[in-house]
Amino acid sequence: MSLGIAKGAYQSALKYSKERHQFGKPISQFQAISFKLDDMATEIEASELLIYNAVNMKNKGRKMTKEGAMAKYFSSEVAVKVSTEAIQVLGGYGYTKDFPVERYYRDSKLCTIGEGTSEIQKLVISKQINK
């Protein structure tokens, strides 16, 4: 769910940044917006790779407690960060129900709370690292 929220928020921000023009060019061409989008894409990719690693271990029948907790923790935090940055890209429009970013922003926080908070995931990771 976290990965889907992050991807949706990113895609919405990317689309908007290519459509919204300021000073005769799309805002995606401004360095500040471009760097936000770059960071979002990179963190989504890292999140997806953590998830795939945990799934791969599970599919092979290997213990993946630490890897699963890392994937859940990182992905949920990425969802919050990416949706927050998407709001920044859209500016005031990001808070309106006319754009899906508002919903991604609201829903992303649930990911850090539901099925084990980020703090609980950190405890799981810590216990596995300190074995």
Show me where the domains of the chain are located.
2-129
Location of structure tokens 């599919």: 59
Maximum C-alpha span of the chain: 58
Beta strands in 33-110 (DSSP E): none
Counting residues of the chain whose pLDDT is more than 70, the rounded percentage is 100
pLDDT digits (tens, 9 = 90+) for 72-88: 999 999 999 999 999 99
Whole-prediction pTM value? 0.92
Q: Which two tokens stand for residue 63?
A: 């213990």
> Which are the catalytic amino acids?
115
Kindly report, residue by residue over 25-75, the tens digit of the pLDDT.
Answer: 999 999 999 999 999 999 999 999 999 999 999 999 999 999 999 999 999
The pLDDT, as a whole number, for residue 14 is 98
* pLDDT score recorded for residue 88: 95
Q: How far apart are the first and last CA of the chain?
A: 30
Cα gap 50→96, rounded to integer Å: 32
CATH number of 2-129: 1.20.140.10
